[in-house]
Chain A
């Protein structure tokens, strides 16, 4: 006993015993058997060094080839069991998810209208989007005049707008099937839409003739007259209800309303706060409506039924004259009976916010 203890004390750093206090002899679940020669039973409590060597030997014991107190076979068994378990669970889970996905219609979402999470308490309310949007975490449109910089800084912006609008210029297989909705009676349109056809929308539709918001003109950015593309969010099955009389129209655009607008969703951009309004001298809206003071999207584009090759209509807002080196807060709103506006700064239902900064 004594000699054993001495040799142990002398050589413990190099030996591979796991040191256990005598008290473990009686453990009900892991009784230490006498014939386990990798375990050294020590009387009294363990020292700090004992613990260190135990940890080392626990992690890797050269003698018994045990890693974390399990040898290869045990690890294989253990790993096998967990692998089988997790594999089965994973297969079951994936299979269920896949089967579920297969059951879903590829074209029509399962949840529509007020049934969907897209609808708030008061029903569906579409938001607006804008381009160019260069940053995901900011809504600023910022560029430098080419005079100052000596080179184009508007490339990214132009690319960003092009990227979004390229679908509108491609004459792909879907283009062949598109219909000119302006000439088709409204009650027939829905049947075409259900067949997967969608309305034509050309870049030229926005403004016949020379368009200040076009690629050759760098969308007005190099001249300090930025064009911002405003679009209404696609919402499956949503049908707009435009204002039918001047009385219903919100006060801010009432003076602009004309009966021709009965078939249009109106879109208007303006400075968000009074200071912004003072610094924005003129905003031109370029749209099918053909009215510079306010933009409009014809209602025959709706409802959107996820038709292949659907071309989303849009409106240009060109800021003809703005103050440079000032951050301008712009808000664009869509107007229709069934578009509500919120006063909450963060709630962009029926509106979109962005900033313009021209150096």
Chain B
């Protein structure tokens, strides 16, 4: 398809798509285009057909081996038929059929599980529908990207995802990440100019972004998907399945402050007027007020806050219908906080501003550090209006405001400012500042009618009005409050051995109190500054090692060498990085990774993006986070609830623990499976376990191992430190030793005892069995003598052998039953853990029923060479199963009694 949209003139382009750059498409036209073209989404044609997926499960590596085995069986059977005609034995035929049945059963099982998993993963994608901000019918509206149609005018800001293939009409410093299309890792700049015939090269086109996902082996997928599903219920969306496990081994969480730990919503917290600090009342109905709402000092302060304020509520009815605190505002966030505060306490702010019309204004800038406006005051008293029609209101950095004042308004009278008042001011200012609050000072002045009569032309350029000798009114301080669940979640992370580090762009003075409130710096630990203040010594005299906590300024961080950063991270369990740039956030994450930690970075802003990418796992906020954050993150907290992370960590650890348990379980059957072969080759004892029974054991083992994935967490899961991924691997020495050693041997003993007993009861005492292999296996020995001088033909002793093998098989299955129960826990007693895993319980029952069916249904048994075994042959195995339970309970008990002891170091996997 030829694309020439990038070559056309803009006017031609508008005509072609019947659109307008200012008004966009009309709704009816958009609807028409939508009906014509369908949704703006990738058609699903590139997904693989189901039958190919099915075949992939049927012909995987392991399955392929089984197929080859089955085919070989059939070929052998074919030869036998050709050679012996109807005399051919059907053993190979049966084995072949059994192999095929196993492949088909396991293949279908994993296919259906996989299909289920991918359905779940797909459903995750629709949980964060990408949105696009477009102009339709002259209005800015948010729609889902699927609803975009050709001709829509789209607006894109920093961090957004390009919602469709677009032609750029206007742009400022626009860069796109084209890496998935062209492989260019650097962001490419884009602008309205047409620069190249090539669609990909030209600067005036940007393309729809996509991302790809990858696959895992079926068992792991089941495990991860189950957890992802569980987490999704808790509004914790896992985009990258692997992330769940990574989160489980996370040892350091780096959290951005604004929007992550706090609500990103400035709220007025305190006020200082009439020489007292009062708590601001931000409740909806003002029921928490600690001050009288009619005192003049407060009224003057609020009047100033109303007038000297450029913030305004967004004027759409939906927004205005919301509670005041949740309304969206235009303007600076601290002004919005003031607006909400006064709207709550006084009300009708907009109306009040209209009455007291603004006549002149100097907006805030960083050199002045104040904002001033002059209003024509409305009063009922004509004489006063005539004398003083104008009111100047000013707010800004408190110290700058105080400098400009000569009097202070106390208890309804103007008092001259002297050292006493300056001191009082300073104390209040320091106190509010130490709470981590942003403090603003307010002052006003009635302009005299002599100098400024009614109709006076104020000019902000020439400043033809006084800005000194004003009247100080008071202070108002604002804070971005902590999210509700944060302190609790951080405490939980702490007890789980996870270090929480705050990395924020805020000033240290703001960051420190918040981190104390959040528990990132706990109540009884001190920073170097705290120690110095307490001891009354200078900072240099304090040994930095005495301080467990520290607050590092971004500038200091910049000057540090990697070794210094390492030492810093090692020596201080509680760290806050303040005033950090995106680059320094990366430095922090890198430093943590150098420590061998698995680092999770939680953030909501574009400035956190590089650090999120650098970290082992990036977590984004679903509501406050930008599109780009959600795009890059491995995990999204849909409800912005920090506590979900704790759940995530728990689930991640659970996955690891459960996989470990699964593997331990699978390995325990190795020794009992191997012993018969060893005894066959080394001691010449007739084979105690056949190949078909081994296959059958493996099948049961896999099913049971999967059921362990559904196991609940042990009680200590969030009380132990995170695992060290370099050292504490899924399969380790202790796990192998434990599963192959004690537990394996008990099982083998149970099987062998059963085997020897059946042999002995049928005439072959153990002494007779040693070295018997050659004559036992020979088809030409038709008169093998047993311990009772009986003579056995080949067929007869094979029948005995298969009976023994069936008993051995049943013994292992029964022991595995007990092993499955002990594998439910690694440290806890099984009594504490309980039998709440329904799937596991089902598997236990299923196994017994299946074994009973296989051994007592004549036709099924012949296929697998399994013969009926009397119930009393189950008893030795039941005894062993009991022994296994006792042994492991005792072991776990000792491990619990002596944490970190010798037994734990040798056997705790």
User: Which residues does A use to contact B, with CB under 8 Å?
Assistant: 21-30, 43, 77-78, 81-82, 85-86, 89, 92-93, 96-97, 100-101, 104, 107-111, 116-118, 120, 126-130, 133, 135-139, 231, 233-236, 304, 306, 310, 343-349, 352
Q: Are B596 and A22 interface neighbours, CB within 8 A?
A: yes
Contact of A28 among B723, B766, B779, B786 (CB under 8 A): B723
On whether A117 and B902 interact (CB within 8 A), knowing A26-B595, A85-B742, the answer reads: no
Kindly specify which of B68-76, B259-267, B316-324, B750-758 makes contact with the partner chain.
B750-758
Question: Smallest Cβ distance from B884 to chain A, in angstroms?
Answer: 11
Q: Which of B192-200, B355-363, B795-803 contacts A (4 or more CB under 8 A)?
A: B795-803
B724 touches A23 (CB 8 A): yes
Q: Other than A111-B762, A127-B783, A127-B796, give 19 A-B pairs with Cβ distance below 8 A.
A: A22-B594, A24-B596, A24-B724, A28-B728, A43-B594, A97-B753, A97-B756, A97-B766, A104-B760, A107-B788, A109-B762, A116-B762, A127-B795, A128-B782, A137-B774, A233-B791, A306-B790, A310-B789, A348-B793
List, in ascending order, chain B residues with CB within 8 A of A310's CB.
789
Given contacts A104-B761, A117-B800, A127-B782, contact A235 B791 (CB under 8 A): yes
A236 CB contacts on chain B under 8 angstroms? 788, 790
Complex Cα distance, B760 from A101, in Å, reads: 7
Interface size counted on chain B using CB atoms at 8 A: 62
A28 to B781, CA, bound (A): 61
A137 shortest CB reach to chain B, Å: 5
B86 contacts the other chain (CB 8 A): yes
CB of A341 to closest CB in B, whole Å: 13
Which residues of B sit under 8 angstroms from A128, Cβ to Cβ?
782-783
Q: Is there a chain A Cβ closer than 8 Å to B464's Cβ? A: no
Q: Is B110 an interface residue (CB 8 A)?
A: no
In the bound complex, do residue B795 and residue A24 qualify as a contact, i.e. CB atoms below 8 Å apart? no
A344 touches B726 (CB 8 A): no
In the bound assembly, the distance between CA atoms of A82 and B903 in angstroms comes to: 12
Residue of B497, B766, B782, B788 touching A109 (CB-CB under 8 A): B788
What are 19 A-B contacts defined by CB distance under 8 Å? A24-B724, A24-B727, A27-B724, A27-B727, A27-B728, A28-B728, A89-B746, A92-B749, A109-B790, A110-B760, A110-B761, A120-B795, A129-B783, A133-B781, A136-B778, A235-B790, A236-B790, A343-B87, A348-B794
B796 contact set on A, CB distance < 8 A: 117-118, 120, 127
Q: Determine whether B89 belongs to the interface, using a CB cutoff of 8 Å to chain A.
A: yes
Contact with A along B74-90 (1 / 0, CB 8 A): 00000000001011010
**Contact assessment for A129 and B791 in the assembled complex, using a CB-CB cutoff below 8 Å:** yes
Q: Would A89 and B749 count as touching, CB distance under 8 A?
A: yes
Q: Is the CB of B795 within 8 A of A116?
A: no
Q: How far is the CB of B732 from chain A (nearest CB, A)?
A: 9
User: Does B251 sit within 8 A of A, measured CB to CB?
Assistant: yes
Give bound CA distance, A233 to B796, whole Å.
12
Q: What is the minimal beta-carbon distance from A268 to any residue of chain B, in angstroms?
A: 17
CA distance A341 to B538 in the complex (A): 108
Q: Is the CB of A109 within 8 A of B761?
A: yes
Which of A100, A135, A138 is packed against the most chain B CB atoms within 10 Å? Answer: A100
A78 in contact with B906 given A28-B728, A101-B760, A345-B84 (CB within 8 Å)? yes
Greatest chain A CB density within 10 A among B721, B741, B790 is at B790
Chain B: CB-nearest residue to A110: B761
B313 at interface, CB cutoff 8 A: no
Closest beta carbon of chain B to A27's beta carbon, Å: 4
List the 9 closest A-B pairs by CB distance, nearest first: A23-B596, A129-B783, A127-B793, A233-B791, A117-B800, A345-B87, A110-B761, A139-B780, A27-B724
- CB–CB A96/B789 < 8 A: no
Instruction: Tell whether, in the assembled complex, residue A93 and residue B753 are in contact, meaning their CB atoms are under 8 Å apart.
Output: yes
Asked if B720 contacts A28 (CB within 8 A), the reply is yes
Task: Contacts A108-B788, A234-B789 given; indicate if A137 touches B762 (C-beta within 8 A).
Answer: no
Residue of A nearest to B562 (CB): A43
Inter-chain contacts of A22 with B (CB < 8 A): 594-596
Shortest distance from the beta carbon of B808 to any chain A beta carbon, whole Å: 14
Contact (A346, B795) CB under 8 Å given A138-B780, A306-B789: yes
* B597 located at the interface, meaning its Cβ lies under 8 Å from any Cβ of chain A in the complex: yes
In the complex, the answer to whether B728 meets A343 with C-beta atoms within 8 Å is: no
Q: Is B763 an interface residue (CB 8 A)?
A: yes
Chain A residue contacts of B497, Cβ below 8 A: 28
Q: Does residue B905 face the partner (Cβ distance < 8 Å to A)?
A: yes
Complex interface residues of chain B between 726 and 749 (CB less than 8 A to chain A): 726-728, 741-742, 745-746, 749
Contact for A25 among B596, B746, B775, CB less than 8 A:
B596
CA A21 to CA B720, docked complex, whole Å? 23
Given contacts A129-B782, A137-B774, A346-B795, contact A96 B596 (CB under 8 A): no
Residue in B closest to A107 when the chains form the complex, CB atoms: B788
Whether B803 lies near A117 (C-beta < 8 A) is yes
Whole-angstrom CA separation of A116 from B788 in the bound complex? 13
A21 and B783 contacting across the interface, CB-CB below 8 Å: no
Q: Which residue of A lies closest to B767 (CB)?
A: A101
Q: Flag if A116 contacts B763 (CB, 8 Å).
A: yes
Instruction: State whether the Cβ of B765 lies closer than 8 Å to any Cβ in chain A.
Output: yes
Nearest Cβ on chain A to B868's Cβ, whole angstroms: 11
Question: A97 vs B722: C-alpha distance in the bound complex, in angstroms?
Answer: 47
Residue ID in chain B nearest A307 by CB atoms: B789
Contacts of B782 in A (CB 8 A): 127-130, 233, 348, 352
B680 at the interface (CB under 8 A from A): no
B563 to chain A, nearest CB (A): 8
| Chain B neighbourhood of A111, CB < 8 A | 761-763
Could you tell me the distance between the alpha carbons of A42 and B614 in the complex, rounded to whole angstroms?
23
User: Cα distance A23–B597 when bound, in Å?
Assistant: 7
Task: For B786, list chain A residues within 8 Å (CB).
Answer: 109
Question: Please, which residues of chain A bring their CB within 8 A of the CB of B800?
Answer: 117-118
Is the beta-carbon distance between A29 and B794 smaller than 8 angstroms?
A: no
| Residues of chain A lying within 8 A (CB to CB) of residue B902 | 77
* Complex alpha-carbon distance, A27 and B523, angstroms: 28
B775 touches A89 (CB 8 A): no
Contacts of B757 in A (CB 8 A): 97, 100
* A30–B788 CB distance below 8 A: no
CB distance from B737 to the nearest CB of A (A): 9
Is residue B792 within 8 Å, beta carbon to beta carbon, of the partner chain?
Answer: yes
Question: Which of A92, A234, A304, A347 has its CB near the most chain B CB atoms (within 10 A)?
Answer: A234
Closest to A350 in B: B793
Cα–Cα distance between A126 and B905 once the two chains are bound (Å): 59
Shortest CB distance B751–A (Å)? 11
**B745, A86: Cβ atoms under 8 Å?**
yes
Please tell me if the beta carbons of A234 and B905 are within 8 angstroms of each other in the complex: no
Query: Do the beta carbons of A343 and B86 come within 8 Å of each other?
Result: yes
Q: How far is the CB of B821 from chain A (nearest CB, A)?
A: 20
Contacts of A344 in B (CB 8 A): 87, 89
Query: In the complex, A110 Cα to B724 Cα: how many Å?
Result: 58
Whole-angstrom CA separation of A135 from B905 in the bound complex: 56
Which residues of chain B have C-beta atoms less than 8 A from A126's C-beta?
791
Interface centre among A26, A78, A85, A116 (most CB of B within 10 A): A26
CB neighbours (8 Å) of B788 from chain A are 107-109, 236, 306
By a CB distance below 8 angstroms, the chain A residues around B594 are: 22, 43
- Which chain B residues lie closer than 8 Å to A233 at the CB level? 782-783, 790-793
A184 to B789 CA separation, bound complex (whole angstroms): 25
Q: Report yes or no: A118 in contact with B741, Cβ–Cβ below 8 A.
A: no
A108 to B760, CA, bound (A): 11
Residues of A within 8 A of B597 (CB): 26
Asked whether A101 lies within 8 Å of B89 as measured between CB atoms, the reply is no
What's the nearest-Cβ distance from chain A to residue B590, in Å? Answer: 13
B623 to chain A, nearest CB (A): 34
Q: Is the CB of A348 within 8 A of B766?
A: no
Interface residues of B in 860-909 (CB under 8 A from A): 876, 902, 905-906, 908
The answer to whether B596 touches A21 (Cβ under 8 A) is yes
Q: Are B760 and A100 in contact (CB under 8 A)?
A: yes
Q: Which residue of B is nearest A82, CB measured?
A: B741
Task: Write the nearest CB–CB distance from A168 to chain B, whole angstroms.
Answer: 15
Contacts of B775 in A (CB 8 A): 136
For the complex, give the distance between the alpha carbons of A343 and B87 in Å.
7
Once the chains are docked, how many angstroms separate the CA of A108 from the CA of B788?
7
Neighbour of A117 across the interface among B749, B762, B766, CB < 8 A? B762
